[in-house]
Amino acid sequence: MKQIISTIAFLVLALQAAAQDVVRLLQPAYADSGAVYRQSVYVPQKWDKCRVVLFLERPLGATAVKVNGVDAGADTLVNYPHQLDITEQIVAGQRNTIEVSVAGHDTHGVMGNIELRSQPRRLYINKVRTHPRPFMGTVRIELALSGQSPDFGFYNVQTMIQREGVDTAKIFVDEREVRGSYMQYDALVMDDNRLWDEFHPNIFRLALGVGSDYQEYTFGMREAGVVDGKLYLNRHPVYLRGCVMDDYFPLWGSMPMDEATWMHIMQRLSDYGLNHVRFRGYCPPDAAFKAADKVGMYLQPEAASVADMNRLTDTYGHHPSLVLVTLGQDTYVYNDRVLTPVALNQCVVAGPDMLAYKQGIERVLLSGDSVHYLLTGICDRQNDFSGVLHGRWDDTDKAALRQFNQFCRAIVPLAKLPQSVAATDTLRVPVYVYNAMYGNLQGVRTSYYLADESGKVLAGGLVANGDVPLDTIQQVGEVVLPLDSIQAQGKVTLMVTVGSNAVRNQWDLNINE
């Protein structure tokens, strides 16, 4: 009974904190030639015993802040959140003038949220880091506390962990004494479906309460690394089907900062069979990582310097979707604050249309030269900008999605077609299966069908029945069909399926007289 009461009290505290600790500033409040944002905002009287932080989500230049005309701090790193403690300058119970100068920009000097955040001044959560141990079923929590209290030992820290989006998920609840300003302890992740990857995008929510402060964080149970020079995730090899994404968003005019828009983007890419986004020349906002976490997308932002990379991993490292980081010509695998260099040797496939992508991807897969490929022209500045971020590949374009999925997904049937075939020949087509799942395919049927231009099936049969190993492009069988037995001429379509008709690929052939 004591545990239930404690949990209920914890949830009540969480709701109160979420409703009371933020004052949003207008965006933008005011901008002149120096990109100066000014706004007069009322600060609640109840904040008189609070620590107050000015949060700037994505400044496009170095910032300098004044509160009520007094210098309150500055930050120089670009495109990452700035958080400035302005407690000494804020006066609770009256209006305060907030002024933010952004260097190097005439307009739109800060993207996303500009807001004041409060925490109890006596004791507050200063920093939290999570260190998942997916195969142990635990997460190590690193907690840094600050405040004016002379003795933190009077307080307890309460911890709750639950898988997000599942009402029936088990809840881990823990309460322990605060023994200093810095703590490390292990918490259980009480869920059998705890691993995170593209096939299992399980996200966990961590809630922490210390005194009257309350914070929430998300994390994923995954480990990434390099084994024999290859990218591994959760002790399995990973095969990247990626795209390049420039800082170019024509549908919205500028980079989206909200999670709903990024969910649309990530879901569309996932629907088209991709599992990886390579951001060229920048790091996206937190909303992009949140969306990628939920969809199961592997992100690869780019850092401009070592300092930039450190801020990137420190800010977004709790997101399981942060798998790779680019710095100059080098690529690193990110795992729990450790960066390991990796050579992806990712083949680039460019295509102004669907056929070019199909031919390019199949050529890469059949060659066996690379287990990873990267598409350009999908959502970057290549070609005609007709990729998934534009209207023709929206939610209603199911035909394009089905066509693209035939050659871009975790399981792809492949075939080596003859250059020419006559009506009197015996059609011989070697058949392969690309398997980039998280394990071997067991006991699957690979079948073929031959149809004419009207869709009428002329012939069909079994190619193979058995296991398809992970990460192989081995021949599973061969289509062998005497064409004189079906008396077909002209254009026909060869379709190969693996397991079911939903996993299929097809090619056009011309049967000469």
- Per-residue pLDDT of 341-353, as tens digits, reads 999 999 999 877 8
Q: Residue 307: which H helix or E strand, with range?
A: helix 306-316
Q: What is the pLDDT of residues 435-470, one digit of tens each?
A: 999 889 999 999 999 999 888 999 999 999 999 998
Collect all residues with Cβ–Cβ distance below 8 Å to 54 and sequence separation of at least 6.
65, 67, 72, 82, 83, 84, 86, 98, 100, 114, 115, 116, 117
Q: Does the pLDDT value for residue 223 go beyond 70?
A: yes
Residue carrying structure tokens 């997101």 = 319
Domain assignment of residue 148, yes or no: yes
Comparing C-alpha atoms, which of 357, 337, 338, 336 is closest to residue 348? 357
Question: Helix (H) and strand (E) counts for the chain?
Answer: 6, 35
Residue 14 Cα distances to 160, 260, 382, angstroms = 11, 24, 47
Residue carrying structure tokens 């495109």 = 79
The overall longest dimension of the chain from CA atoms, in Å, is 94
Q: Which of 8-12, 120-124, 248-252 has the highest mean pLDDT?
A: 120-124
Separation CA 470–CA 433 (nearest Å): 10
Question: Contact 354/404 with Cβ under 8 angstroms?
Answer: yes
Q: What is the pLDDT of residues 167-209, one digit of tens each?
A: 777 899 999 999 889 999 999 998 888 999 999 999 999 999 9
Supply the CATH number for residue 45's domain: 2.60.120.260
Residue carrying structure tokens 């049969």 = 461
Separation CA 288–CA 296 (nearest Å): 12
Comparing C-alpha atoms, which of 238, 255, 258 is closest to residue 246? 255
Domain assignment of residue 12, yes or no: no
Residues 325 and 435 in one domain: no
Domain assignment of residue 11, yes or no: no
Picking from 186-190, 233-237, 244-248, 493-497, which range would have the lowest pLDDT averaged per residue? 244-248
Domain assignment of residue 8, yes or no: no
Separation CA 240–CA 343 (nearest Å): 13
Residues 305 and 385 in one domain: yes
Question: Contact 425/285 with Cβ under 8 angstroms?
Answer: no
Question: Contact 324/240 with Cβ under 8 angstroms?
Answer: no
Residues 256 and 362 in one domain: yes
Residues 238 and 324 in one domain: yes
Residue carrying structure tokens 């995170």 = 196
- When divided into structural domains, the chain yields a total of 4
- According to DSSP, the β-strands at 421-422 and 500-512 are parallel
pLDDT at 5: 38
Determine the structural domain holding residue 103 and report its residue range.
21-120
Q: Does the pLDDT value for residue 27 go beyond 50?
A: yes
Comparing C-alpha atoms, which of 184, 174, 172 is closest to residue 141? 184
pLDDT at 467: 92
pLDDT-derived band at 2, boundaries 50, 70, 90: very low
Domain assignment of residue 14, yes or no: no
pLDDT at 19: 40
Domain termination residue (choose one: 169, 185, 220): 220
Q: Does the pLDDT value for residue 4 go beyond 50?
A: no
Residues 249 and 330 in one domain: yes
Give the mean pLDDT of the chain.
Answer: 88
Residues 163 and 299 in one domain: no
